[in-house]
Structure 1
Amino acid sequence: MGRKRHQVRLPAVLTAATALLLAAACGSPGTAESGSGGTGSTEPIKVGLVYSKSGPLASYGKQYMEGFQAGLDYATNGSKKIGDRAVEVTEVDDAGDPAKAVSAAKDLIGKGYKILAGSTSSGVATQVAPIAEQNKVLFISGPAATDAVTGAGTYTFRSGRQTSQDINTAAAFIGDVQGKKVLVFAQDSAFGQANVAGVQAVLGAKGAKVEPLLVPASATDFTPFATQAKEAKGDLLFVAWAGTTAQAMWTALGQQGVFEATTVVTGLDITATWPAYGPVADKVNFLSHYFAGAAGTEQEKAMTERVTKAGGTVDLFTGDGFTAAQMIVHAAEKGDDPDAMVQSLSGWSFDGVKGKMTVRAEDHALLQPMFQAKLTGGATPTAELVKKLEADAVAPAVATK
């Protein structure tokens, strides 16, 4: 499955406050604990990263991995050690295939790994979570956005955002959604239908009137669907689109005057996709999980410096990797007991790339700021921050299982 192992055994570098690991209650700065979490062991701390190194989400996986390496360096003051114990990271490529991911997770657990992370795909995350629960190992999902990861079990956490936070960020463009009409413009596919269901679950529960406008996946002429979107007279048009027809779809919305008729919102994807919006780029309102330069935090600066120095580029999911490393270092300070790791993460608040992050104790949702953005600059757009929404403003409902 393609695996890469690198073990680091470097002396600890004790520089003044180069890493900030924040305690849950008081929020005071600290560093990775000396010693070995009370275990007396000097054996390596094994971390298995099962992620999309190849496959359709390989670009996301690359960003995650670059962020993880930067985060591990930051959280350990450059030592790649927690106390006296080296952090040994094993990468396994799941290629976005849940079956490969499950096989890899079982293999790593069989070799004694107590910490797994990295899920890039939602389909992978929902399959690995039960394996972590059955074997009582810590699992920190990565960029996978499905709400199903939150509340999936005692041992399951996430280092990225979830779909409900995206939807709440979109809704914030029109304020209180009670009684307002929200049209979901999407392809008639599993992806599109999932977005309709998500918007209905989140905004429908807040009193919005949610209606789908589903376009056949085989469609190449989007004019009639754009006309329907305009005539629907919605308060918000939530666009969920994937694939090579995106530019033609956005062009049709612009030609039919949809942007003048309603507030159009979609998610800001990786930088490489921005040119696809063409001439309507500056008319779209973007909900954003993250883009380079959005946050202005010390942690964002530290991540950017490290990623850039290593030859990488900060993008949408770089922060998810950085956050995963922060969470793993904090958890592993407690030694090798996954139950102690879970206890240390549940309710923990810390300063992350995006700002203050909190692991909600009830369901392990990662409460975090979100962003609203605009694209400017024509053929080579750049993102500009419109508004930062604090964690409470976009928090998902508590998951109940």
Structure 2
Amino acid sequence: MRIRTSTTPGPSGPHRSRTVTALALLAAGVLLAGCSKAGQAGSSSSDNGGSSASAPVKVGLVYSRSGPLAAYGKQYLDGFDAGLAYATHNTGKVAGHPVQVTEQDDAGDPAKAVAEAKSLIGKGTRILAGTTDSGVALQLAPLAAQNKVLYISGPAATDALTGVNAYTFRSGRQSYQDILTAGSLLGDSKGKKVTVLAQNSAFGQANVAAVKQVLGAQGATVDSVLAPPSASDLTPFAQQVKSKKPDLVFVAWAGASAPALWTALDQQGVVTSTKVVTGLAGVASYPLFGKAGAKVSFLAHYFPGAAGTPVEKAMLDGITAKGGTPDLFSPDGFTAAQMIVHAIEAGSATDPTAMAKALEGWSFQGPKGDEQVRAADHALLQPMFTAKLTGGGAAAKPQLIGRLPMTSVTPPQKAMAG
């Protein structure tokens, strides 16, 4: 793969600008049925917006290259590169237009992300993507609507993004889909006491709200224990959870403090005194559960090999061919690239409103399986998975329990905000 790179200090700090000229790491091939309403990517000499066929389409990736979610940002970026190669048939072009990608590191700081996004928009960027952090996403969404740019959020899972405005989409799952997947593991929750252990952040609060909405509606009593995202000593919070004597503990956690959390839950006997359900995090986290891992039930947004689809194989091959490691949020980046290519090809290379319309209702084969952008509120309907961990230490790995089709984990439809 040949990519011209440059590092230039901008108003919001260093960034990298990349013009994809040739992507030859993936096997060439046509997109699967349903991936395009206007033919194959790169097959047309002009776009619907009537602009020059050689004019680049500027895409800004605002994501966590550093900060507490940097590992997730790297997974997203690796997936995006593989997805762009796949969706453009290794050309780096859509309808004759080179895709020019500029990366900006928000470090998980909403103010920094907004400044970077404004700078990109001022330089003619009409597509933003990549958001790793939910708090950042909630700041970028209104900015996208105000400036009429297409915004495709990444791993940010907050439910509040769904239906927030006509220009905001997502390439990953949302918290409600996590909870519906967890519900499939919990069985009958009627009369049960459920405690949500999470960080006091947009992500954590969204999970608490989703558990109350889903399991509360099924007859469970739901409360929560929220820890500051900066907390390093998590023993007091594990003790609070145990003192509540819940029937079920739902753990929603993200970032570098996860090992300390599971150590605390193990030491305080939480994982042996009640049923604990959590999301399966990245590959690096598997050994961190230790002996507790075999006692925890996992809902899974994704883990390598979970889907078993041809598109997943293309993603895995594309990432590993470049020396990367497929992981939890690889599909978010890959799917974002698919969405961007479709928005340009079936919508416009210059008009974000037409891009957004092209995405609404789009059904396609993503790396996780059958997916659909719901037209009414831009929720991304997608399969989810359940798993357990086998082995221990460095040998720990997930074993698939079940695949839930997108129809089984569909979040409630929301009215589109203005």
Give me the TM-score of the superposition, normalised by structure 1. 0.90
**What is the CA-CA distance between 1:48 and the residue it aligns to?**
0.9
Task: Report if the CA contact (8 A) 2:35-2:365 is conserved.
Answer: no
Match of 1:182 among 188, 191, 194: 194
Partners of 2:153 and 2:45 lie apart in 1 by 28
Match of 2:243 among 200, 205, 228: 228
Is 1:344 matched up with 2:358? yes
Greater shift, 190-199 or 355-364, is seen at 190-199
**What is the CA-CA distance between 1:51 and the residue it aligns to?**
0.8
Q: Give the AA of the match of 1:378.
A: G
Partners of 1:102 and 1:189 lie apart in 2 by 18
Q: Give the AA of the match of 1:347.
A: G
Is 1:367 matched up with 2:381? yes
Residue of structure 2 in register with 1:391 after alignment: 406
Residue 146 to residue 78, structure 1, CA distance change in 2 (3 Å): same
Task: Report if the CA contact (8 A) 1:373-1:383 is conserved.
Answer: yes
Residue 340 to residue 176, structure 1, CA distance change in 2 (3 Å): farther
Partners of 2:198 and 2:381 lie apart in 1 by 27
Residue of structure 2 in register with 1:196 after alignment: 208
Per the alignment, in what secondary structure is the counterpart of residue 185 of structure 2?
Answer: coil
**What is the CA-CA distance between 1:203 and the residue it aligns to?**
2.3
Counterpart mapping for 1:184-333 below 5 A: 184-186=196-198, 194-213=206-225, 218-220=233-235, 224-225=239-240, 227-228=242-243, 231-232=245-246, 234=247, 236-241=248-253, 243=257, 244-252=259-267, 255=269, 258-259=271-272, 262-333=274-345
Residue of structure 1 in register with 2:161 after alignment: 149
Number of equivalences: 393
**What is the CA-CA distance between 1:17 and the residue it aligns to?**
3.2
Residue of structure 1 in register with 2:52 after alignment: 41
Q: Deviations over 1:215-251 (max 9, x none)?
A: 796553677546535x44x2x3212345252232232
Residue of structure 2 in register with 1:358 after alignment: 372
**What is the CA-CA distance between 1:107 and the residue it aligns to?**
1.0
Q: Give the AA of the match of 2:374.
A: R
Task: Report if the CA contact (8 A) 2:131-2:154 is conserved.
Answer: yes
Residue of structure 1 in register with 2:10 after alignment: none
Partners of 1:214 and 1:132 lie apart in 2 by 31
Partners of 2:90 and 2:202 lie apart in 1 by 43
Gaps of 5+ in 1: none
Report percent identity of matched pairs.
55
Partners of 1:61 and 1:367 lie apart in 2 by 22
Greater shift, 37-46 or 179-188, is seen at 179-188
Q: Deviations over 1:256-290 (max 9, x none)?
A: 6x54x543211111111222211121111001111
Greater shift, 283-292 or 213-222, is seen at 213-222
Per the alignment, in what secondary structure is the counterpart of residue 207 of structure 1?
Answer: coil
Partners of 2:57 and 2:73 lie apart in 1 by 22
Q: Deviations over 1:150-188 (max 9, x none)?
A: 111000000001111111111111235444432324467
Residue 367 to residue 11, structure 1, CA distance change in 2 (3 Å): closer
Greater shift, 67-76 or 167-176, is seen at 167-176
Q: Give the AA of the match of 1:90.
A: T
Partners of 1:187 and 1:101 lie apart in 2 by 21
Gaps of 5+ in 2: 1-12
Task: Report if the CA contact (8 A) 2:41-2:94 is conserved.
Answer: no
Q: Give the AA of the match of 2:209.
A: A
Superposition RMSD in Å: 2.7
Task: Report if the CA contact (8 A) 1:222-1:252 is conserved.
Answer: no
**What is the CA-CA distance between 1:53 and the residue it aligns to?**
1.0
Residue 304 to residue 191, structure 1, CA distance change in 2 (3 Å): closer
Task: Report if the CA contact (8 A) 2:199-2:226 is conserved.
Answer: yes
Partners of 1:166 and 1:78 lie apart in 2 by 33
Residue of structure 1 in register with 2:68 after alignment: 56
Task: Report if the CA contact (8 A) 2:197-2:241 is conserved.
Answer: no
Q: Deviations over 1:313-340 (max 9, x none)?
A: 0000111000000000000112211111
Q: Give the AA of the match of 1:91.
A: E
Task: Report if the CA contact (8 A) 2:75-2:333 is conserved.
Answer: yes
